[in-house]
């Protein structure tokens, strides 16, 4: 079983998602959706290769993998005995820009 670690940005993403859902659809929806997202993340602890390789989708080498949960991409990578959750980004956002910024263009 892999240990799950969240980056500060991933924790901030989850707070923003939580607030957005609560403000737009109420507390019950917020609890249900956040429970599903965190459950999917915990599932990675047992099945770390569950997600797809991001590099295959964007045709740029990267260690990141991703899964989709409740309309949000969960980006993570394997680090020895840990799953490091890097970001949780809504599927409607420009997740490439959010993950890599201008670094993708300069590489």
Task: Please write the tens of the pLDDT for every residue from 12-67.
Answer: 999 999 999 999 999 999 999 999 999 999 999 999 999 999 999 888 889 999 99
In what helix (H) or strand (E) does residue 82 lie, and over which residues does it extend?
Answer: strand 82-90
pLDDT at 82: 96
In angstroms, the CA 40 to CA 19 distance is 19
Residue 78 exposed, middle or buried by CB count within 10 Å (0-12, 13-18, 19+): middle
Domains assigned to the chain: 3-106 (3.30.2310.20)
pLDDT at 102: 64
Query: Is 13 or 100 the better-scoring residue by pLDDT?
Result: 13
pLDDT at 106: 45
């Amino acid at each position: 079983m892999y240990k799950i670690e969240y980056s500060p940005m991933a924790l901030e993403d989850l707070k923003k998602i939580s607030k957005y859902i609560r403000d737009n659809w109420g507390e019950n929806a917020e609890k249900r959706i956040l429970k599903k997202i965190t459950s999917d993340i915990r599932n990675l602890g047992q099945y770390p290769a569950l997600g797809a390789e991001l590099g295959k989708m964007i045709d740029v080498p990267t260690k990141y993998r991703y899964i989709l949960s409740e309309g949000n991409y969960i980006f993570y990578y394997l680090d020895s005995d840990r799953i490091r959750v890097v970001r949780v980004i809504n599927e409607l956002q420009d997740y490439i820009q959010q993950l890599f910024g201008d670094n993708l263009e300069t590489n």
